[in-house]
Structure 1
Amino acid sequence: MKKTEEKIIRFIDAHKLIEKGERVLVAFSGGPDSVFALHFLKKFQKKYKIELAAVHFNHQLRGKEAETDEKFAKEFCGKLEVEFFSAKLNVKKLANSKKLSIEEAARKLRYQNLEKLCKQNSFSKIATAHNLSDNTETVLMNLLSGTSAAGLSGIPVVRGNIIRPVLCVTKQEILEYLEKNRIAFRIDSSNLSDDFKRNFLRNRILPLLRGKINPALDEAVYRTTSNLKSQLTVNERVVNHFINEFTRKKANGFEIRLNIAEVFGEIPGELLKVLIEKNFDYEFKHEDYAKINSLAKNHKGKKVNLGSGITVIREKELLCFQKEESSLTGEVEFPAGKKAKLCGVTVFIQKAEIEANPAKKKAYELISADELDEKFLLRTWKHGDIFKPLGFKGTKKVSDFLTDAKIPASEKKNRLVLLNRNKIIWVVGLRISDEVKITNKTKRVYKLWTI
């Protein structure tokens, strides 16, 4: 058994990455790292008593070269007698629609399709070929871009059902092994260009650091990240404590109480990262941290937009984080005796009797139907809408009424109004119009309520 192989076996055993009888799906680009990983797992398949398969993704970015890569991947798996899957990914479409970089869009699509394939074919583990040199690149890229402590902890050995069995060996060790054993692999020409930041770091900066400062740079960085991971385990427990103490889950997001800043002097970036990445499909960035803490010091009603349609709104004592959904504006016309649903709220209207001693607090409204017809219109309120609130002498803008009622800015836009004969007779769930109040002359009554 070769030294490199022994190192990986010890690494797999130490981290308990593979259990007997598991079905393992290998992410297989055809490049040196994934060729090495698949070759290793196939060689020791009997030792681990696992079932193996590989999947190749064509990102449709390099034309004929990508087609050749896919052909190589298929033939390589055929020679090893490894079950082969392939899929074409429309990376440019996702990048344009979600305003992502090509690299980020490609990574997102790969992991989405890996998980999908995993579920469809009952794979228990996904193996990726990240190595020790990849870990160094990731740490330095995050450091140079600005990141949280988690960003400096490197590539995780295990994340959910994803394992990195060759994370203990360097790129150089992999290339030497492949050359010695005369194992062919493909080279992605885009990796040779310094146009991408990561390529520039890999091709220009890291060779200088290894040559002039530390030949064992990858091992040194990995030791540092391992120490940091231990500290982060403690930090994670602290963060979860404060999440339970200062945050609340909502239907389309969450909210943070601003008095958390009294504890830390700000809203901690690590707490924001955990909350945002847990609640939204979004990679938290340093500029998001700066935006959010600046907003926390701003006035009520202000808001900032993060990527992927995430909006943060400054309320009186809260920051409200929500995922912008497609517009909920609309309208529904319906007759008395029926119901209508809009923005998740169902409104009922039915004929009723006048109550001799109505309760002060009730879950419904009674209105005079004497001047109303049978057709009602339910819609979201609009700027310029006015009505005469019950007990109010004049008219009032609905927007001002909602503000006075202390409706959070994050909920304001989807508030409903009920109209009859083109007049607002009810700001749904809040106040009826004074023009439909019941008097001693009222002859017909409608009952209004919501669920």
Structure 2
Amino acid sequence: MALEQDVRIFMDKFRMISPGDKVLVGVSGGPDSVALLHLLWRMKGELQISLAVAHLNHMFRGEEARADARLVEGLAKSLGLPVYVEEFDVPAYRERTGLSAQDAARRVRYRFFEEVARRTGASRVALGHHADDQAETILFNFLRGTGLAGLKGIPPVRGKYIRPLLDIRRREIEDYCREHSLPVREDASNKKTIYTRNRIRLELIPRLEADFNPRLVDALVHLGHICREENDYLEEQAALLYGRALKNQKEHCLLFAVAELLSSPPALVRRVLRRAWRHLTGEADLSYLQVECLLALLHNPVGGKVVELPRGVRASRQGQVLRLWIGGDAPGVPDYSYPLEVPGITYIPEINSSVKARLISINDAPDPRSLSAREALLDYDTLPGLLTVRRRREGDRFQPLGMAAHVKLKKFLIEQGIPREERDCLPLVVAGDEIIWVGGVRPGEPWKVTPDTKRCLYLQILEGKVPGA
């Protein structure tokens, strides 16, 4: 009864089951899954649930595997439960995909569970992972150099999948099977040390328990609980940052505000970058070094560099925008054109910048020579039309301050040393058909402030969306 009570408490803690649930129990024939099935069968009336059994023969072990299937069928029938037994040629699937034996088996097994759950209407799938599995997983991830996400280990609940035995030691499970005379089979492959996980279970954990901590498994399970809770909190904060920093999203391209990311803790930024990767690829994660490459790109103010990542993903920083995309060259900034608010603030989501415009008298105007490239002072009364802010376009011409004639804007930007990747990120302030300011570079000669100027248009480029925009 003690084991049954511990399992019930653990299930209640994580709200694994609700009255009326149909639970599909994955049973391999080993002690853990057999004990799980028997425990749930004993509790099904109290829990107000119905049960079904699923078993997949991976076809790795010939007659031995078929014997496992027969045992599961017999056990399910003795308990009066429906059972679904199928086989799949995982060795052939492994050859086709190039996956390891364990990865191939896991993918096929979960696909099988999903299909049987769909056919039977099961709302939960119960699996027999236990505390020793948890310790093994945490150590395995530690040796790979994981962060919190790996040290949290196996989740007690993931979608429809539940693991009621995750805090129970293997020896307790084996004792339960003996106490209730349950038929079990041992998979001989679990004893083969050619697999890293088996070596951790059979060699590393016993050595650490003998030489360093006899309660190592308990310590690792506790570590998993702590890391899971802290990881969940950081993921919540990262989701909020992701929403704030994401400025544009297409099917194969994501644009993030550099300023928003740089002003946030690196622990959250790393998680945002991993989320972006998962959005584009559907894959689980990036390595530490790959994430660090993205962080270095984020801090690189020069721009132009492209980081190549697996699965065809690329990343580059263009001005105040970090882009991640799948495909060829970096997608250009979409064409845009907005009326310039005067006075006011015009936000440009395509480049995540704002242009602030003010009208001031010549007496209040600063010295134009003291302004940065992100500021401009122009003679407002000489401007030849309605003001807009837009992206550069093919064929644009411009008369820069200090020059006597118009030049091609593209040639001018090349001569100014503006990288190709950053040119479309420069907002152009246009009056009628004339470019009066190449934002961040230079204002136009015909509209400079002179002794005859009475009203000045003062322009500033600000990062991100600012109040008033």
Q: Give 1:274's aligned residue.
A: 275
Q: Give 2:16's aligned residue.
A: 17
Question: What does 1:126-275 align with in structure 2 at a 5 Å threshold?
Answer: 126-247=125-246, 248-252=248-252, 254-259=254-259, 260-261=261-262, 263-264=264-265, 268-275=269-276
C-alpha offsets along residues 232-254 of structure 1, whole Å, 9 cap, x if unaligned? Answer: 33312321121012224321353
> 1:267 and 1:20 mapped to 2: Cα distance?
38
Tell me which amino acid in the other structure corresponds to 1:316. Q
> 2:85 and 2:293 mapped to 1: Cα distance?
41
The verdict on how the C-alpha distance between 1:278 and 1:159 changes in structure 2, with shifts beyond 3 A counting, is farther
Q: Report how far residue 390 of structure 1 moved.
A: 7.3
Give SS of 1:239's match.
helix
* Contact persistence 2:304–2:421 (CA under 8 A): no
> 1:320 and 1:253 mapped to 2: Cα distance?
7
* Contact persistence 1:291–1:304 (CA under 8 A): no
> 1:146 and 1:62 mapped to 2: Cα distance?
33
* Contact persistence 1:95–1:101 (CA under 8 A): yes
Task: Give the number of equivalent residue pairs.
Answer: 339
> Which of the two has higher C-alpha Rg?
2
Q: Report how far residue 56 of structure 1 moved.
A: 1.2
Give SS of 1:204's match.
helix
Q: Tell me whether 1:313 sits opposite 2:315 in the alignment.
A: yes
> 1:120 and 1:283 mapped to 2: Cα distance?
27
> 1:71 and 1:108 mapped to 2: Cα distance?
23
Tell me which amino acid in the other structure corresponds to 2:69. E
Q: CA RMSD in A?
A: 3.4
* Contact persistence 1:261–1:267 (CA under 8 A): no
Q: Give 1:87's aligned residue.
A: 86
Q: TM-score, normalised by structure 2?
A: 0.64
Q: Give 1:283's aligned residue.
A: 284
Give SS of 2:318's match.
coil
Tell me which amino acid in the other structure corresponds to 1:127. A
> 2:29 and 2:218 mapped to 1: Cα distance?
25
* Contact persistence 1:292–1:304 (CA under 8 A): no
The verdict on how the C-alpha distance between 1:262 and 1:17 changes in structure 2, with shifts beyond 3 A counting, is closer
> 1:138 and 1:54 mapped to 2: Cα distance?
25
> 2:62 and 2:422 mapped to 1: Cα distance?
59
Tell me which amino acid in the other structure corresponds to 2:62. G
Q: Tell me whether 1:43 sits opposite 2:30 in the alignment.
A: no
Q: Tell me whether 1:64 sits opposite 2:63 in the alignment.
A: yes
Q: Report how far residue 15 of structure 1 moved.
A: 2.5
Give SS of 1:312's match.
strand
> 1:86 and 1:295 mapped to 2: Cα distance?
51
* Contact persistence 2:280–2:325 (CA under 8 A): no
User: What is the aligned-residue identity percentage?
Assistant: 25
Q: Report how far residue 195 of structure 1 moved.
A: 0.9
> 2:89 and 2:304 mapped to 1: Cα distance?
41
Q: Report how far residue 62 of structure 1 moved.
A: 2.8
The verdict on how the C-alpha distance between 1:391 and 1:300 changes in structure 2, with shifts beyond 3 A counting, is closer
C-alpha offsets along residues 135-165 of structure 1, whole Å, 9 cap, x if unaligned? Answer: 1111111111011212111221111121111
The verdict on how the C-alpha distance between 1:256 and 1:95 changes in structure 2, with shifts beyond 3 A counting, is farther
The verdict on how the C-alpha distance between 1:243 and 1:94 changes in structure 2, with shifts beyond 3 A counting, is farther
> 1:60 and 1:407 mapped to 2: Cα distance?
57
> 2:249 and 2:126 mapped to 1: Cα distance?
33
The verdict on how the C-alpha distance between 1:207 and 1:229 changes in structure 2, with shifts beyond 3 A counting, is same
Q: Tell me whether 1:55 sits opposite 2:54 in the alignment.
A: yes
Q: Report how far residue 407 of structure 1 moved.
A: 8.0
* Contact persistence 1:58–1:87 (CA under 8 A): yes
Question: What does 1:346-361 align with in structure 2 at a 5 Å threshold?
Answer: none
Q: Report how far residue 313 of structure 1 moved.
A: 3.0
Q: Report how far residue 297 of structure 1 moved.
A: 6.6
Q: Give 1:370's aligned residue.
A: none
Tell me which amino acid in the other structure corresponds to 2:153. G
> 1:273 and 1:198 mapped to 2: Cα distance?
26
Contiguous gaps of at least 5 residues in structure 2: 329-387, 389-393, 398-413, 415-419, 426-469
Contiguous gaps of at least 5 residues in structure 1: 326-360, 362-388, 393-399, 409-451
Tell me which amino acid in the other structure corresponds to 2:192. S
> 2:92 and 2:326 mapped to 1: Cα distance?
21
Q: Give 1:77's aligned residue.
A: 76
